Structure 1
Amino acid sequence: MITGWLDLPFTGPFDLAASARFIEGFTPSRSFTDESARLRLAFPASPSWRPVGALVRQQEPDGAVEVRLNAEEEDVAAAAEHVRRILSLDVDGTGFPALAGCDPVVGELQSAAPGLRPVLFHSPYEAACWSVVGQRVRMAQAAELRSQIARRVGTKVAVPAGTGELPGIQLDTFPAPRRLLSLGRVPLLPEVKSARLFGIAEAALAGALDAGTLRALPAVQALRFLATLPGIGPFSAQLILLRGAGHPDVFATAEPRLHQAITTAYGLVNPSLDELEHVAEGWRPYRTWVSVLLRARSELART
């Protein structure tokens, strides 16, 4: 069914246009924007894992955010929550601007990208699959592999158009867990990666990759569990928790590019991990958010 426009509540500053600009450089994403900075998404939504198409709009920064869904009726509520999490709207951002008064670096980051919140993977499941697909290959190559897998064995879903417009576009979703497990082998991937994806799909079907459950656990416990998944090490476990489940307040100890970005932004000289963590303590309870802003600025500087 195609829904009407549904409200996506949030607190604190948010600018969808800033998220749209950010997501264009977020290589793993299969999201698309138009000239009005509306966002188009296509993903399998838990717990049913049926495909969903979504069109997101915001008329002005900090204004109401709305989504129009193509989803089964019983999936609408869950799909709307998926979209809120993807855009980090399910986190209370009221206190985020206050960090600028305590840390000039954070103030500069917020001024450069006002209203930007982390844009996440569609689910912890997709973040885990991306981690496996991307092992030992360049990010651009991994993104192309993911797209090819989605086209070959994923599901096409129509993304709704805006009211009164021409019909929307069709996008390919990454294969849902049951679809993945129905394959003898995932195309384009070596046997070892295919087997690892099957293990991740099984964990997702068992509910072990539920975003809410992972975020409710102490971060150390969640990371320890994620590292038991096939093919998932410390870096990937942190990616799944921070950029898949959307935990807003974890310092990524296994992300060298973030550490370099902190070193540069704060003028540090060969800092230890403890020193970097001490800097990040000042970002609580938004350590993930500030980390994403730092990485975004760092990546822009590289282009």
Structure 2
Amino acid sequence: MTAIVITPRGPFSLAASMRFLEGFTPAGYRDASDGRVLRLAFPADDGHSTVSAEVSQTEGSGGSAGSEGSAGSIQANVTVHTGNPGKDGMGAASAESDGVSAVRAQLARILSLDVDGSGFPRLAEHDPVVAELIAAYPGLRPVCFYSPYEAAAWAVIGHRIRMVQAAAIKGRIAEHHGQRVAVAGQFLHAFPTPLVLRGLSRVPGLPEVKVERLRLLADAALAGDLDAARLRAMPVDDALAHLRTLPGIGPFSAELILIRGAGHPDVFPRHERRLHASMAEAYDLGDPDASDARRLAGISDHWAPYRSWVALLLRTRREEQAGQAARGRSVR
């Protein structure tokens, strides 16, 4: 086990990230503690090992969110597991011997801490919508998939089926084929590494074509075609075009992989209709502007260099409002 410290640049709240994860269906995250420790288990970017992490945040000078003053530092105890799946962490090696810098970089990317967010609050000065969002969700940054590889796998699993059904299938794949690790007193199953996934011949609940696409995506990950740093270094249009060449990845999924898999902070999702509806409502747009992707993208230009972040807050608010409305209907 190795201790890692990450100092946020700009506002950040781990507690807000945990609340977000609990409502993020693909994560399947359920916290059984006091809400102060984030437990993670995920395939490492190296393609063959698994990382477990116990993450917490110290109190900053302006509280954990750091809206005034500095946000508290992130402290993580991480272990790299190189043994066989299902062996309860057997074969674990210290992160230091397996590349502590790579593990730290991946963890920072997952929590969007690899981005300097000190300029994010300034967006509120010229946009009342953004000001309201930042006030409503202090310190919340996008919590990403553990890797572009896992985001791509989710896109294939979830294509044209309900999210809860896809999450159940993804969870079963992790349980049966991923590494089982102990994290702060709890056992977690990580999604299988590309080396393991490429060897699967059958997945209950998935048609053969999806299983074949998962195997091909595993090969693509091992070949470097889903490398997060490479994707973020490319011009956005080029990165999206590259991702659309992968099996089972269309325009919507390509944006998902780049934004929520590679953690790109400044991409406007042109194919996310729910976001567009949320923008139309927030900015009081009528037809035809409400469905004009170019018009909406023009509005998002004012969010640069944090377009992905504002988009996430808009979607989060919309989903919370939808959940509150559904609970109200059930009460009546």
TM class by smaller structure: over 0.9
Shift of 1:181: 1.4
Whether 1:11 and 2:9 are equivalent positions in the alignment is: yes
C-alpha separation in 1, matches of 2:180 and 2:99: 17
- Partner secondary structure for residue 278 of structure 2: helix
C-alpha separation in 1, matches of 2:75 and 2:28: 20
Give the superposed CA RMSD: 1.2
Report if aligned partners of 1:14, 1:117 keep a CA contact under 8 Å in 2: yes
C-alpha separation in 1, matches of 2:178 and 2:204: 11
Report if aligned partners of 2:9, 2:113 keep a CA contact under 8 Å in 1: yes
The letter of the residue matching 2:242 is: F
C-alpha separation in 1, matches of 2:198 and 2:25: 25
Shift of 1:48: 4.3
Over 3 Å counting, the alpha-carbon distance change for 1:274 and 1:266 in structure 2 is same
Report if aligned partners of 2:303, 2:310 keep a CA contact under 8 Å in 1: yes
Q: 2:136 aligns with which of 93, 106, 112?
A: 112
Which residue matches 2:88?
Answer: none
Q: 2:181 aligns with which of 157, 162, 170?
A: 157
Which residue matches 2:301?
Answer: 281
Structure 2 unaligned residues grouped into runs of 5+: 65-70, 81-92, 324-332
Shift of 1:30: 4.2
C-alpha separation in 2, matches of 1:134 and 1:37: 30
Structure 1 unaligned residues grouped into runs of 5+: 162-167
Which residue matches 1:69?
Answer: 78
The runs of 4+ residues in structure 1 deviating greater than 3 Å are 30-33
Deviations 1:150-208 (A, max 9, x none): 1111121222x3xxxxxx21111111111011222334311000010011000000011
Which residue matches 2:83?
Answer: none
Whether 1:140 and 2:149 are equivalent positions in the alignment is: no
Shift of 1:10: 2.4
Shift of 1:220: 0.2
- Partner secondary structure for residue 41 of structure 2: strand
The letter of the residue matching 2:257 is: I
- Partner secondary structure for residue 11 of structure 1: coil
Query: TM-score if structure 1 supplies the norm length?
Result: 0.94
C-alpha separation in 2, matches of 1:102 and 1:242: 24
What is the percent sequence identity of the aligned residues? 52
Which residue matches 2:38?
Answer: 39
Which residue matches 1:51?
Answer: 50
Farther-moved stretch of structure 1 (145-154 vs 121-130)? 145-154
C-alpha separation in 2, matches of 1:217 and 1:258: 24
Shift of 1:36: 3.4
Which residue matches 2:90?
Answer: none
Report if aligned partners of 1:11, 1:93 keep a CA contact under 8 Å in 2: yes
How many aligned positions are there?
294
The letter of the residue matching 2:322 is: R
The letter of the residue matching 2:16 is: A
